[in-house]
Each structure stands twice: as C-alpha cells, then as structure tokens.
Amino acid sequence: AAEHAAIAGYADYDEFARQVAALAKPGSCEVSALATTLGGRKIFLLSITAGPIPAADKPAILIVGNVHAPQLMGSELAMRMARQLLDRAGKDAAVKSLLERFAFYIIPRPSPDASEAFFQLPRREREGNLRNTRDPRDPDAADPAADLNSDGMITMMRVADPAGHWIPHPADPRVLIRVNHDQPEHGRYELYPEGRHDDDAAPVEGWGEGVAFNHNFPFRYPYFKRGAGPNAVSEIETRAVADFAFDHPNIAIVFCFSPEDNLMHPWRPGGDQGRGKTSLLPDDEAEFAHVAETYRGIQHESDAPESPPGEGSFSEWAYFQYGRWSFAARGWWVPKVPAPAGKPASNDPRGADELNALNWLAREKIDGFIPWTPIHHPDFPGQVVEIGGFKPFVLLNPPAKQLDPLAERHTDFVLQLARLMPELKISEARAELLGGGIQRVSVAVANLGYLPTASAMGQLSGEVYPLLLRLDAPKGSTYLKGSPRTELERIRGGDQIRCTWLIRPPGGKPAAATVRVSAPAAGSATTTIELK
C-alpha cells in the first residue's frame, strides 16, 4: 500500500525471500532455513564469511533483525547489512581480512508470520505469531480488534466518559494525556484500541493474537501475560533461534534490533546477591560501556527513547542465560523536532513524545495521523465514540529512504565489534632442562584484543566454552606437573596467563612439543617448542 508511508519500500515475505535467495554465494554467503513457521514461512539464516575456514570453525557475531515484529526496520537493516558486508569484502582488503577471521550469522526476520501483519489488511501492530492463544473455555474473554471505520487500519477509539482517565493535551487536542488527579483536572475520555468491546469493563485487549518472539524467552519470562505463550521457548520461532545459538558455541557476540536498547541506554550493575543474576555483572561493565560509547560515536544520535523493561526478551536472554556479549539497538526513533512557529509550547512532560511525533510528521510531510472521527459503536450506546490516532507502524519504522544510510552506520558498528574481539597469542614459550631428563615447559597466553575471551556472565553461567590449553609432548612423555589439557580462566583484553609443566620425554633424540590454546568463541593460537 504505497499510500502508507510506513509501508512503502519495505519487503513483504515473498519479496524478502527473493532477496535472501539472491544473496547466496558459495564461499561467501550460505543461505539456509532454521525452521518453517505455522504460516509456512521460513526463518532464514545467512552465514557470511571469507577464506577457506568454515564459518563454524571461527568466532562469530550473531545479528538478529526485528525481534519486535512490528519494528520491521530491523529486518530491512539486517538484510542491507548482509549486502554491505559482502560488497565491502569484495572491495576492501581490511573487511575481507575480518571476514577471514570471523563469521557473521544473520537471522534477519526471526518471526516472519508476525511481521507479515505489516502488509495485511487491516494493518495493525501485531507482535504475535499465528499460534491460537484464545482460551477455548472462555471465548468471550478477548475483545477482537476490528476495523470499524473501514480505513484498512487498526488505530484507537476515544469514548466520551466524564469518569475517564484521559483528557486532550492543551497544546494539541489530537493528543490525549492521562488525568493528573493532583491537579484540578477531570477526565473526558476513555481510550481503547479500535474494535469491539464487551461489558467486562476491560479494554479491547487483543488476546488471542499469537505469541510474541520477544516475550517468549526464559529470562524474566512474563508468565500469564499477553503474548508470552503457554511457557518459555514454546514457539517454533524461539526454539529455532535458541537451538541455533546453543548449537554454535563459536558465537561470541549477539547484536539485535530491539526496543530494549542497551547501547543508547547502557545496562548498569545492580545489587544482585543471590545465585540468579538480573543485572549486569560489575566485571562486564567497562566493556559494555566502551561498546555503547563506540556505537554512539558511529551513530551520532542522541535523545533516544527510554528502553522498556525486558520481559522474556531476546537481548536479555542472550546475556543473562546464553552468556554472550549482548548488544541491542533500537536502530531508529522519531527525532526531536522543534514545534512550528506560532504553535503553543508546553512544559508538561505528558504527551511530549506524541507532540514531537506530530511535529515530525508535519515536517516530513507524512500522512501518519488519522483525525478523530465520530462513529456509531453498538457497544457504547448513548456515548460519543471517535476513531483516530497514529497510523500503525509509522512511529516504529523510518521512511524507506533512510534505511540505506542507517544500514551503513550499523554495518560500521558490527565491523568495529569484530575489531574488538579477543585475539589469542602465545607470547612466550620455552623449555628448560632441569636434569634427570626432566624439562620445564613454560608458556604465556595473551589476549591482544579488547574484549575478554568470555563475558563474566558467560564464565559464571558455564554456557561459554572455556579456553583449553593443550600441550602435545612427544609420544611416551611422562607428565610430572600439569596435564596435557588445562582449562584456563577468561583472559581480559591486554592480559595474559602463565602456565608451566614438568615433563620427562623419552630420551635418545631431539624432540618438540606443540602448545595450542583455543575456545570456539575466542579463536586459537599455536606454537612449537624445541625441547632440550
């Protein structure tokens, strides 16, 4: 529907699938499907790398598109980032070198059934998949959304009610604000999503509209809430993504587009004392702050909206339970726009975002607000009912002309993430003959990168494979101190760990020992030591 500014230029599932298929290129971009949804749509995976080493055998960054289904911009940006990674690798030797060292896994549209509501009539910001979540024992418990004014969109209803909780904003009556009972204000409206309304005194709820990908993960899972599902990871979509993550221990960093933004609003440590951690570990704070500062420096943006609390969200699960460095960006938001000349200013924080959105729509000449228009509503006899408000998706997704430059900056960011990855090196290695055929073998394992070899949360949870240090001495050697394989603690960027063995190799001829340190998400380093 070209007339809807938030829809024009975005790809529906069929076009999206064609775009995914066009990216497939042996040796550079492998295309596969993690699962097929209830609606018959595939959850696509792009594996991007370079060089002879397979993606699964090198550290990787996982990029996930719109974990909040109505924010389809995240899917569009992820697809553009995939194209740009491939294009840059073909033109820039430095980018190609990064892709030879690291892999990028991209899941651009993790919940395609829910995202397709972007293109279906009536248009509504649907978070849930096609799971039937209506309670069969109580078919009247949910009030169905309905396009009562036949404009092809589900917006809002304001119902005249002197006991209501909403009043018009004094600076612009199109905007409704909640009554402040500490002031001499009296309600004028009650506010509901557009649809039918029964007599249970509850708003039009939209229950029954599936399970939301971004509320179905087990960390802070919102039991019995709308969109949460019957249990955590109950859905094809969430299981497919979680299974892929656990099946790929080489994933070091997770980056997604999400309302739970921790790059413009970095996480802070809390006072967790128990075993279950619900806030950033202090030992991870410096790295999170540095990455957030890096992101803000690339984006050159400010005034980002506050992040909602994550309830079953993907980005929080990726850190707190999957144990990876997890970074989430909103990607875009309605920018701050000065009010037009002559328009009354307001110091009331209520409705400030909506007023700013109206100013932005006017500046951009986007028809994104439906004026409040009276209708006859059979469920509110004798009351004035009006339908109007912001069009679906228009405040969550930028005009398509902004997608390419946004993707450029986010591609710059994920490439910078790759440059911050751990880099293992065996910085010292030597053997000393002690007498009696005994040799002391000493090594120092260094991390030349910025990020530690694992997050503190990953080490605490045990979900990140530890560093494994292996000494392969000549066959028949006796280990007097140390063992052939040793697990190391995580190594912070710029630090090193020293290890020593005492061995007695079989005598009679010159020999060498091989030392290797590796972890799937941190890479590897190998050296050879000539024994004395």
User: What are the DSSP calls for 279-332, one per residue?
Assistant: SB-HHHHHHHHHHHHHHHHHH----PPPPPPPSS-HHHHHHHTT-SEEEEE---
pLDDT digits (tens, 9 = 90+) for 375-409: 999 999 999 999 999 999 999 999 999 999 999 99
Q: Which helix (H) or strand (E) holds 471?
A: strand 467-472
Q: What is the DSSP letter of 56?
A: G
> How far apart are the C-alpha atoms of 426 and 447, rounded to whole Å?
9
- Are 190 and 166 within 8 A, CB to CB? yes
> How far apart are the C-alpha atoms of 82 and 79, rounded to whole Å?
5
Helices marked H in 52-135 — which ranges? 73-91, 93-101, 112-115
Residue 507 has pLDDT above 90, yes or no: no
Give me the mean pLDDT over the 228-243 stretch: 97
Compare 327 and 340 and report the one with higher pLDDT: 327
Residue 509 has pLDDT above 80, yes or no: no
Query: Which of 3-7, 194-198, 291-295, 509-513 has the highest average model confidence (pLDDT)?
Result: 291-295
> How far apart are the C-alpha atoms of 93 and 387, rounded to whole Å?
56
Give me the mean pLDDT over the 129-139 stretch: 68
Q: 3-class SS at 41?
A: coil
Give me the mean pLDDT over the 4-20 stretch: 86
43 Cβ partners below 8 Å, 6+ apart? 33, 34, 35, 36, 37, 107, 109, 110, 112, 236, 237, 240, 241
Q: What is the DSSP letter of 334?
A: P
Residue 356 has pLDDT above 60, yes or no: yes
Residue 398 preceded by cis peptide, ω within 30: no
pLDDT band at 143, cuts 50/70/90? Answer: low
- Of residues 389, 441, 384, the one with CA closest to residue 188: 384
pLDDT band at 271, cuts 50/70/90? Answer: confident
Residue 115 has pLDDT above 60, yes or no: yes
Mean pLDDT of the chain: 92
Q: How far is CA 122 from CA 14, 125, 236, in A?
A: 19, 10, 25
Return phi, psi of residue 527, to 5°: -150, 160
- Of residues 463, 445, 446, the one with CA closest to residue 454: 463
CA triple 362-166-163, angle to 5 deg: 155
Q: How far is CA 240 from CA 44, 115, 132, in A?
A: 10, 17, 19
Specify the pLDDT at position 208.
58
> How far apart are the C-alpha atoms of 175 and 178, rounded to whole Å?
10
Tokens standing for residue 433: 């003959």
Residue 38 has pLDDT above 70, yes or no: yes
Residue 2 has pLDDT above 60, yes or no: no
Residue 413 has pLDDT above 90, yes or no: yes
Give me the mean pLDDT over the 489-497 stretch: 97
Give me the mean pLDDT over the 43-50 stretch: 98
Lowest mean pLDDT among 64-73, 263-272, 367-376, 421-430: 263-272
pLDDT band at 347, cuts 50/70/90? Answer: confident
Return phi, psi of residue 19, to 5°: -65, -40
Return phi, psi of residue 184, to 5°: -75, 65
Give me the mean pLDDT over the 213-225 stretch: 96
Q: 3-class SS at 360?
A: helix
> How far apart are the C-alpha atoms of 257 and 67, rounded to whole Å?
7
Lowest mean pLDDT among 24-28, 226-230, 346-350, 385-389: 346-350
> How far apart are the C-alpha atoms of 10 and 399, rounded to whole Å?
9
- Of residues 333, 388, 332, 334, the one with CA closest to residue 356: 334
Sequence length of the chain is 532
Specify the pLDDT at position 207.
47
> How far apart are the C-alpha atoms of 73 and 422, rounded to whole Å?
31
Specify the pLDDT at position 515.
97
| 3-state DSSP of 230-247 | CCCCCCHHHHHHHHHHHC
pLDDT digits (tens, 9 = 90+) for 75-100: 999 999 999 999 999 999 999 999 99
Q: 3-class SS at 186?
A: coil
Give me the mean pLDDT over the 36-58 stretch: 97
Specify the pLDDT at position 137.
42
Residue 142 has pLDDT above 80, yes or no: no
Q: What secondary structure does DSSP assign to 384-415, as a single string?
A: -EEEEEEPTTTTTS--GGGHHHHHHHHHHHHH
Q: 3-class SS at 488?
A: strand
Specify the pLDDT at position 141.
47
Q: From the centroid of its chain, how far is CA 448? A: 27
